[in-house]
Structure 1
Amino acid sequence: SVLKGEWIYYPLKGTRIRIKGFYTCASTHVEYSLKCPCGKIYVGKTIRCIRDRLTEHKSAIRNKLNQPVAKHFNENGHTISQLRIQILDLVSRRRRGGDRDKELLRKEAHWIKRLGTTGMSPHGLNHEYDLSPFLFK
């Protein structure tokens, strides 16, 4: 189910972070977090409708795919009904243009770092994140 609210719990410091903006199941170009019942968090991004992306995560769990969220849910006996999603941010279309995909990658890396969701963290389900959007060519 979709978590609604202006805050996301920040497990590394035991505090909350304010979420800015209004989002719906039809929102696109978003950063999102998935939560499981044991408190672990996965940060992801999508250019498509968030509803469709959530359906894909549920399908991966159901089909026992070797993906971080699905693997964790299946190995720990969690059910699909326990999966929670919350939109963290949105990359809107800029009047001057710009690379929305690159901005999504930047924001994804930002949220992964901020929430501490890499696999090395006891709170995280992200295996790694891409720093290439921060590098100049």
Structure 2
Amino acid sequence: MVYVGETSRSLKERAKEHEADVRLRRDKPISEHFNGTGHRGQDMSISVLTQIRDSSRYYRLIKELEFIKKFETKSPNGLNTNNQ
């Protein structure tokens, strides 16, 4: 399963947040997936798709939507949901 997300923070900081969500079993798609049967938090991996120098949140959201469509990561095919 794949999830596409954007952040203005460092990748290390965002990854730690996802790891904490899994460890603390928060009600979030990534946490639910990795705490489900046959998965572990240690199975999570992160790949950078692009690095954007523009600080505009709007531009980052547009790029995020483009990648969600390109990789078809919207639920149920992936972990992206409308309420993220």
State whether TM-score is above 0.5.
yes
- In 2: Cα distance, 1:61 partner to 1:91 partner: 27
The 5 A counterparts of 1:1-137 are 40-93=1-54, 100-121=56-77, 124-128=78-82
Name structure 2 gaps, 5 residues minimum.
Answer: none
Return the structure number with greater strand share. 1
Question: Quick one: higher RCO (CA 8 Å, sep 6+), 1 or 2?
Answer: 2
Q: List structure 1 runs of 4+ shifted beyond 2 angstroms.
A: none
Q: Which amino acid aligns with 1:45?
A: E
Provide TM-score, normalisation by structure 1: 0.57
Q: Secondary structure at the match of 1:90?
A: coil
Q: Secondary structure at the match of 2:19?
A: helix
Post-superposition Cα deviations, 1:7-62, rounded to whole Å, max 9, x if no partner, equal: xxxxxxxxxxxxxxxxxxxxxxxxxxxxxxxxx10000110000000000000000
Q: By how many angstroms is 1:64 displaced?
A: 0.2
Provide TM-score, normalisation by structure 2: 0.91
Q: By how many angstroms is 1:129 displaced?
A: 7.5
Q: Secondary structure at the match of 1:56?
A: helix
Q: By how many angstroms is 1:82 displaced?
A: 1.0
Task: Please tell me whether the aligned partners of residues 109 and 129 of structure 1 are also in contact (alpha carbons under 8 angstroms).
Answer: no
